[in-house]
Structure 1
Amino acid sequence: MYRERPSPVVPGAIVWHTDRTSGGEVLPDGCMDLVWHDGDVVVAGPDTRPFTVTASPLPGVGLRFPPGLLPHLLGVPAAGLRNLRVPLADVVGPRAAAALACLDPTDAADAFEAYGRSRLAMAGLPNPVVTAAAHLLRTGLPVADVASATELSERSLHRLATRNFGYGPKTLAGILRLQRAQDLAARGVPSAVVAAECGYVDQAHLIRESRRITGRPFGELRQPGSGANRSTPLPSGSFTVA
């Protein structure tokens, strides 16, 4: 069982809860999370490949931040957390993480939002260029055009993306475009139309990109509950669950 809601206090963030009664995988989505995991609070770094989740009798609780926001709030480069799950105290130090120590899962969501709000009060919102770059990359705009639109050189855009998103703009664009494709598919849009709407050359191109990023053809990701979001694991060997 999985449920989520927009956070009213952290811009663009999503609070999520999930049962973990079976193992599975979480797909890349360009985001980073704070996660309550078996009694610990961990930072879920930006993924470039599916991340394996083990079964547990305990629930999963998290706050999923939009691309670029959590590294800004924590004051760390996202690239150093790529494909990792790291205790929050190891990222920001025990003192800065003390507010989230010894949490009960029923309190974790509220505590994460309070923590995010306090970090926002200290750090402020990220550079608008970071937010604009993520938005433009999600639309499928070529990297050169995103650099031009944000008044950056392609090299500067690559540095900005690596620090704030965890990888270069081309990688982020591929992940976000596949997310957009999954969103359209979830509304019942045929795959051929999804491919055209998202800027793929054709449906075969969409399928290749799906395999490259997730290891699965897009048809499997279309199935109900197939788990477009990182916070909701796909059970191993099944794609009918997020």
Structure 2
Amino acid sequence: MPALTRPARAAPWLSETGPVLLRSWDNGPVYAERPAPAGLACLWTRTVSSPTVQRVVPDGCTDLMWTPASGALFVAGPDTSAQLAVVAPGTLYGVRLPPGAFPSVFGVPAHAVRDLRVPLSDLVPSARLGSFSEMVEFCAARVVVDPAVAATASLLRSVDVASAAWEIGLSSRQLRRRCLDAFGYPPKVLQRVLRFDTALRLAWGGLPFSAVAFEAGYADQAHLAREVRALAGVPLGQLIRP
């Protein structure tokens, strides 16, 4: 398995905290996730030794990414379908924001970057970040966990859109506006993406697909299969294959 390379100034975020998730593929990519400061989802690295095409699937999150070789800093908005990314050799460093956190960090609604990859300078011209540690500190200092936004995501994981709006005390139009601004999606799309992300994590954990469908809230395994193909472009078995 190829070792994860680290820039000299990556510490402490990658050197003092052990990985909580590590995956490798037969064609070379190595992906690792590590714990992040409060309010952030995780810190991650992806290392490849040769040019690779990787499938990036929707998870409701947004990412700030840095390529040390070029110094490029860019933001990945919330995706509505799978993106095929051409990954150059080397290590890509990322700070993942949980669903709903994007506006507090970057100052624009999440729908403005939906399905886009945008240079950080386009969103925050004053940002001058030269290391992974500075990226983490930038995000951690800005992120705000809005209880109302968190409650919206939590409800949409378990009840239908109309019930969520009633529980929160919003009209359907108000809920749609909140979801577009905070998450980048209308409520129904957000619900589909969150459910898909839950299913993918359960499948990665080795749960049988029939149990995945039940635990993630799909009507049945056929419903799970249709939704995975719609959002990821490939069957679930292919998606989790090493």
**Structure 1: gaps of 5 or more residues:** 224-239
Greater RCO (CA < 8 Å, at least 6 residues apart): 1
**1:216 is matched by which residue type in structure 2?**
V
Task: Tell me how far apart the structure 2 counterparts of residues 12 and 88 of structure 1 sit (CA, whole Å).
Answer: 17
From the two aligned structures, give the one with the greater strand fraction.
2
1:62 Cα deviation from its structure 2 partner:
0.4
Is residue 133 from structure 1 mapped to residue 152 from structure 2 by the alignment? yes
Partner of 1:89: 121
TM-score normalised according to structure 2 size:
0.82
Please report the RMSD computed on the Cα atoms of aligned residues, expressed in angstroms. Answer: 1.5
C-alpha offsets along residues 136-171 of structure 1, whole Å, 9 cap, x if unaligned?
A: 22x231111111121111111110000111111111
Identity %: 42
User: Equivalents in 1 of 2:32, 2:55: separation in Å?
Assistant: 17
Distance 1:54 1:222 in 2: 19
Match of 1:28 in 2: 58
Q: Render the CA deviation track for 1:60-103: whole Å, top value 9, x for unaligned.
A: 1000000011222211011110111111111122x2x12x1xx2
Normalised to the residue count of structure 1, the TM-score between the two structures is: 0.82
Is 1:183 the counterpart of 2:177? The answer is no
d(CA) in 2 for partners of 1:41 and 1:10?
Answer: 22
Structure 1 residues 117 and 199 mapped into 2: Cα distance closer, same or farther (>3 Å)? closer
1:222 deviates by 3.7
Measure, in 1, the Cα distance between the counterparts of 2:53 and 2:228.
21
- CA deviation after TM superposition for structure 1 residue 127, in Å: 2.9
> Which of residues 166, 174, 184 in structure 2 aligns to 1:156?
174
What do residues 26-54 of structure 1 show as CA deviations (whole Å, max 9, x unaligned)?
A: 11111001000342110110111112221
Task: Please name the residue that 1:218 is paired with.
Answer: 236
Q: Distance in 2 between matches of 1:24 and 1:117?
A: 28
* Structure 2 unaligned residues grouped into runs of 5+: 1-29
**1:158–1:168 contact (8 Å) kept in structure 2:** yes
For residues 218 and 181 of structure 1, the distance between their equivalents in structure 2, rounded to whole angstroms, comes to 9
CA distance in 2, matches of 1:152, 1:126: 19
Q: Which residue of structure 2 lines up, in the alignment, with residue 168 of structure 1? A: 186
Q: Which amino acid aligns with 2:83?
A: F
Partner of 1:77 in structure 2?
109
Any conservation in 1 of the 2:104–2:142 contact (CA below 8 Å)? no
1:6 is matched with which residue? 35
| 1:45 aligned onto 2:73 | no
Please state how far the C-alpha of 1:4 moved relative to its aligned partner. 1.0
CA distance in 1, matches of 2:162, 2:150: 17
Structure 2 CA distance, aligned partners of 1:46 and 1:135? 17
Q: Give, as a single letter, the amino acid of the residue that structure 2 aligns with 1:5.
A: R
1:232 alignment partner in structure 2: none
Q: What residue in structure 2 maps to residue 60 of structure 1? A: 92
After TM superposition, which residue ranges in structure 1, 4 or more long, deviate above 6 angstroms?
none
Matching of residue 117 in structure 1 with residue 146 in structure 2: no
Do residues 203 (structure 1) and 235 (structure 2) align? no
Residue pair 2:40, 2:95 contacting (<8 A) in 1 also: no
Secondary structure at the aligned position of 1:23 is classed as strand
Q: In structure 2, what residue type is equivalent to 1:92?
A: V
Q: Distance in 2 between matches of 1:114 and 1:213?
A: 32
Paired residues of 2:76 and 2:118 also in contact (CA < 8 A): yes
Shift of 1:117: 2.5
> 1:233 is matched with which residue?
none
Residues paired across the two proteins, number = 209
**What is the CA–CA distance in structure 1 between the aligned matches of 2:45 and 2:240, rounded to whole Å?**
22
